[in-house]
């Protein structure tokens, strides 16, 4: 894991040794669902592979509740997620609603002060700047459209040179805090998709760390949480492959060791649509009515390429033979 071109940083970070470099720690993986509805088959696929990978490595599995969106997150959904994981046989060692573990709290909604501390550290690098653009400004001045509909910030509030000198707290206007990204490419090796090269400036643009309404951006929260929780391996859907480059950049600015990444093919229905919480047919309440946990686990293991045919099994039966080489780097798997 490295940056292709070394970025010179005006870093003023002295106490990042409070976080032990991930490489020297015992393996730890995490499942980090948003409690915004019942889990579907795709969420369970991610949970199973993350659990197997970390169990094979003899590490800890952490359950983190990503409830940053207060409008859509509900504790009742988090309880259902926990119940579904236990039904499947996917027990966690740390985290969850009862906050078991040294890195508590494990709910993002309770970690605002921690994010604030790390935002200050990033501001001290001189790479952040206040952005006063409204959504309409951003749409009107965005960089050329991306095929997948991503909006790339056009740089309206970007300072002409580094370090950015206007600290955000001196600005009385409501503003987001945005991070300056360099022209350099970020390179990393994904355990499923292999070597990746991402030009942050061209493919992501300067991104937000804290929104104007005070909400924390996913990229900041996830990096801080993974670092403080000692996560050494991240397993998640391939829709977050580009995010890995943004997150590696944040790790670099904070002087922290990034985890390894394994992105997974997305599960799609027969119509080619990605499964979502809106599809009720493959949500856990329906699946639990129709199948035993062993059949569901066996089916998912077969989809992943871990079994030659779908036969009923428990998660622990799959640990010994688990190997990332079985997961093919296809973009989707049809269920
Ligand atoms: Zn702006």
Predicted local distance difference test score (pLDDT) of residue 21: 45
> Which of the residues are catalytic?
277
CB-based neighbours (< 5 A) of ligand 1, an ion: 131, 133, 156-157
pLDDT(1) > 50: no
Predicted local distance difference test score (pLDDT) of residue 169: 59
Q: What is the pLDDT of residues 140-153, one digit of tens each?
A: 888 766 667 788 99
Predicted local distance difference test score (pLDDT) of residue 10: 36
Rounded to the nearest angstrom, the distance between the alpha carbon of 103 and the centre of ligand 1 is: 34
Q: What is the pLDDT of residues 160-211, one digit of tens each?
A: 888 886 555 567 788 999 999 999 899 999 999 999 999 999 999 999 999 9
Rounded to the nearest angstrom, the distance between the alpha carbon of 248 and the centre of ligand 1 is: 23
What is the CATH architecture of 3-126+226-334? Answer: 3-Layer(aba) Sandwich (3.40)
Rounded to the nearest angstrom, the distance between the alpha carbon of 258 and the centre of ligand 1 is: 28
Rounded to the nearest angstrom, the distance between the alpha carbon of 168 and the centre of ligand 1 is: 12
Predicted local distance difference test score (pLDDT) of residue 310: 96
Q: What is the pLDDT of residues 63-108, one digit of tens each?
A: 999 999 999 999 999 999 999 999 999 999 999 999 999 999 999 9
For residues 317 and 19, the model is more confident at: 317
Rounded to the nearest angstrom, the distance between the alpha carbon of 126 and the centre of ligand 1 is: 17
Q: Distance (Å, rounded) from C-alpha 115 to C-alpha 221?
A: 6
pLDDT(262) > 70: yes
Calculate Rg over the CA atoms of the chain.
Answer: 20
Q: What is the pLDDT of residues 264-294, one digit of tens each?
A: 999 998 888 888 777 777 899 999 999 999 9
Predicted local distance difference test score (pLDDT) of residue 145: 63
Confirm if 100 and 60 have CB atoms less than 8 A apart: no
């Amino acid at each position: 894991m490295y940056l292709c071109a070394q970025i010179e940083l005006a870093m003023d970070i002295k106490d990042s040794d409070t976080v032990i470099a991930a490489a020297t720690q015992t393996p730890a993986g995490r499942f980090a669902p948003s409690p915004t509805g019942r889990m579907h088959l795709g969420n369970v696929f991610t949970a199973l592979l993350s659990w197997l990978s970390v169990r094979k490595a003899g590490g800890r599995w952490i359950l983190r509740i990503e409830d940053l969106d207060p409008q859509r997150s509900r504790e009742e959904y988090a309880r259902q997620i926990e119940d579904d994981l236990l039904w499947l046989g996917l027990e966690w060692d740390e985290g969850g609603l009862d906050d078991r573990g040294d890195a508590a709290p494990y709910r993002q909604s309770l970690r605002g002060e921690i994010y604030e501390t790390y935002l200050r550290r990033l501001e001290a690098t001189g790479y952040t700047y206040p952005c006063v653009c409204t959504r309409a400004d951003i749409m009107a001045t965005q960089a050329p459209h991306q095929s997948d509909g991503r909006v790339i910030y056009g740089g309206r509030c970007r300072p002409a040179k580094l370090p950015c000198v206007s600290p955000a707290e001196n600005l009385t206007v409501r503003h987001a805090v945005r991070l300056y990204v360099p022209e350099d490419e970020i390179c990393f090796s994904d355990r499923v998709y292999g070597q990746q090269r991402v030009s942050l400036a061209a493919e992501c643009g300067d991104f937000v760390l804290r929104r104007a309404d005070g909400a924390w951006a996913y990229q900041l929260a996830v990096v801080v949480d993974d670092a403080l929780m000692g996560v050494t391996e991240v397993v998640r859907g391939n829709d977050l492959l580009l995010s890995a480059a943004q997150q590696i950049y944040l790790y670099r600015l904070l002087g922290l060791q990034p985890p390894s990444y394994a992105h997974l093919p997305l599960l799609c229905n027969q119509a080619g649509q990605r499964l979502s919480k809106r599809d009720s047919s493959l949500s856990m309440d329906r699946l639990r009515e129709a199948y035993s946990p062993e059949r569901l686990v066996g089916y998912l293991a077969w989809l992943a390429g871990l079994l030659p045919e779908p036969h009923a099994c428990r998660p622990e039966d799959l640990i010994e033979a688990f190997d990332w080489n079985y997961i093919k780097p296809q973009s989707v798997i049809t269920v």
